Amino acid sequence: MPSAVHCRSPWVRNTTIRAVLVALFGVAALATPASLLAHAAGYEGLLDITPANAAAESIGGLDPRLPTESAVLGAALAAARSDGVAPKRYSALLQQYWLARGSEASGIDLAAWDPNAGLIANAAVVDRVYENYGRYQLQRAELYWSGMAGLAGGSFAAGFWDLDLGRTVLGVDAVHTLGNAVASTVRGLPGEAMALLPADPRTLATVGPAMTAEDVDWYQKRLLMMQKHIYFDMVPMHEAYLNEGRAAVEEMAAAGLLDENAEIAWNGIFSGTQAGYADALFRMASREQNQIIADQWDVTAAARDGVGRALTYATTLAAQPSVPGSRAPGQVVPMAVDCDVNGSAYRLRTPLPGFNWADREPRWQYIVSDIASSYQRLAEVRPGELRALLAIPFRDFVESQRVLRRVPDLARDMSTGWELSPAHP
């Protein structure tokens, strides 16, 4: 009857509407206010993301599903917060937001950042990464790790250019020179002593002289990946702190982006004490070296049938950290081996470093005992000198750290600093 159509109760009408909503959107629509549905469109597809580019080995940001513009990311993040979304669900969005903020402040195009493009394409990015670390330290004196990264980046970036193949093949020639210097000395050792020489100098002596441009280009790209990986991890938390303070860092912790070690480090910074700042320096350095890029160093050193090992050792040998007071690896941990020559005990002393930077434990011990300790003293005792160093235009600072100018002297030292003498009880 017609009256049956026009006399439905409100309950019947609501039931019909709810049935349609269930059919279209599922059960969740029953409990979702209209305002929440409107907000959700702002972060749709941006929750519960496990970043595909977390190790920073590909072009762009953390994941291709995430925008790279901070304004877009910020709007999505604000909507998720407003709707009470659990921080762990928007962790990738949060990290990418602060990463984008830091990149924009640094002058880095996050979407176009591609370590696989090589050094020439990334030349400006390399500099801006370390300039940005220095910016954090200059603006907030308590951020020791970032200042150390900015200073140490001078020698790291200089090493990039010393290996550069885009302008010259001197990078390859330098490796050849060091390899030949070690090889010529090794050939002059008694057989017993040569047999006991650790594998790294023997690999450099055999593989170094035959190094190719392609080998060095590959190694540069591996270093560029590690540089980007550290930036992906460290910049979001520092940029968040610089702009919004403790609450922003605590949100990152709530999102699961900081482990216990990182939380303790930031609590040290929040303490407002030099002891807290120093503790944060060492904890953040440990995070960088022992968590973020440790696996990438392992892969690099093991690659290309000895080439990776030879190149990581060559750069250890040539290293001269740019943190005032720090010493070269060969000075801190010189290589010495005991051997038996014709029935008598001898000790072979060398000018070579007794470790390879690619190896986790000795790398960390060197950083703790020398580079980080030197930086702590600089920050605490000579802050004016530190600020002056960080204020130097980065390109000028890098040029002052170039190892290539020292290659002839290094080669001479590699040839003359050897001593085989009777071992003393």
Residue 166 forms part of a structural domain: yes
98 close to 213: Cβ distance less than 8 angstroms: no
Looking at the structure, tell me whether residues 10 and 119 fall in a common domain: no
- Name the nearest CA neighbour of 284 among 146, 91, 102: 146
232 close to 54: Cβ distance less than 8 angstroms: yes
Residue 71 forms part of a structural domain: no
Residue 344 forms part of a structural domain: no
Looking at the structure, tell me whether residues 118 and 227 fall in a common domain: yes
Q: What is the pLDDT of residues 292-303, one digit of tens each?
A: 999 999 999 999
Residue 43 forms part of a structural domain: no
Looking at the structure, tell me whether residues 17 and 122 fall in a common domain: no
Single pTM value for the model: 0.84
Looking at the structure, tell me whether residues 146 and 12 fall in a common domain: no
Residue 75 forms part of a structural domain: no
Looking at the structure, tell me whether residues 359 and 233 fall in a common domain: yes
HEC assignment per residue over 376-405? HHHHHHCHHHHHHHHHCCHHHHHHHCCCHH
pLDDT at 314: 86
Looking at the structure, tell me whether residues 125 and 22 fall in a common domain: no
Looking at the structure, tell me whether residues 28 and 147 fall in a common domain: no
Looking at the structure, tell me whether residues 251 and 149 fall in a common domain: yes
Q: Looking at the 3D structure of the chain, how many domains does it have?
A: 2
Looking at the structure, tell me whether residues 293 and 405 fall in a common domain: yes
Q: What is the pLDDT of residues 314-344, one digit of tens each?
A: 888 878 888 999 988 988 998 887 777 677 7
Residue 148 forms part of a structural domain: yes
Query: Which domain, by its residues, includes 26?
Result: 2-32
Residue 339 forms part of a structural domain: no
Looking at the structure, tell me whether residues 6 and 141 fall in a common domain: no
Looking at the structure, tell me whether residues 401 and 288 fall in a common domain: yes
Residue 53 forms part of a structural domain: no
379 close to 386: Cβ distance less than 8 angstroms: yes
Q: What is the pLDDT of residues 85-123, one digit of tens each?
A: 999 999 999 999 999 999 999 999 999 999 999 988 999
Looking at the structure, tell me whether residues 314 and 207 fall in a common domain: yes
Examine the pLDDT at 212 and tell me if it is beyond 50: yes
